[in-house]
Amino acid sequence: MRPHFTIPPDEVQITAIRAQGAGGQNINKVSTAAHLRFDIAAPSLPETIRERLLKLSDHRISKDGVLIIKAQGFRSLEKNRAEALRRLELLVASVAAEQEVRRPTKPTRSSIKRRLESKGRHSALKAGRRTLSE
């Protein structure tokens, strides 16, 4: 089960910036993209999640430990702000989930037998294609 916690809004900085790409006058005049900055060293995060976030090799995490998310998919600032917050929550939730440790298993006797029989059939088939040199 995932530990559930919320990130306080005062630990997240969201600024409005101009979006990139095509869009005509709207893009040139209106700042609709959302630029989210979240300091991973924030006190609201548990220590284990903080360490896992810093271990990620994600290009959005700076060397100073600040997560930067840019959302510009929508034409309204509110939708982009909500999208940036959703991405932040998804990233933190993906790190919060404990990875199950894989237990190595042995193949069963019957699966080994089936594999060897299949290899024998394949080998016999290929051997039948060979030309006999006499």
- Identify whether 36 is part of a domain: yes
DSSP codes of every residue in 2-39: -------GGGEEEEEEPPPS--THHHHH---EEEEEEE
Q: Could you read off the pLDDT of 58-72 as tens digits, one per residue? A: 888 888 889 999 999
What whole-number distance in Å separates Cα of residue 86 and Cα of residue 83? 5
Which residue type does 24 have?
G
Q: What CATH number has the domain bearing residue 38?
A: 3.30.160.20
In this model, does residue 96 exceed pLDDT 80?
yes
Residue 76's domain spans which residues? 9-96
What whole-number distance in Å separates Cα of residue 101 and Cα of residue 76? 43
Number of folded domains that form the chain: 1
Residue-level pLDDT at 79: 94
- Identify whether 35 is part of a domain: yes
Residue with tokens 């220590």: 47
In this model, does residue 1 exceed pLDDT 60?
no
- Identify whether 20 is part of a domain: yes
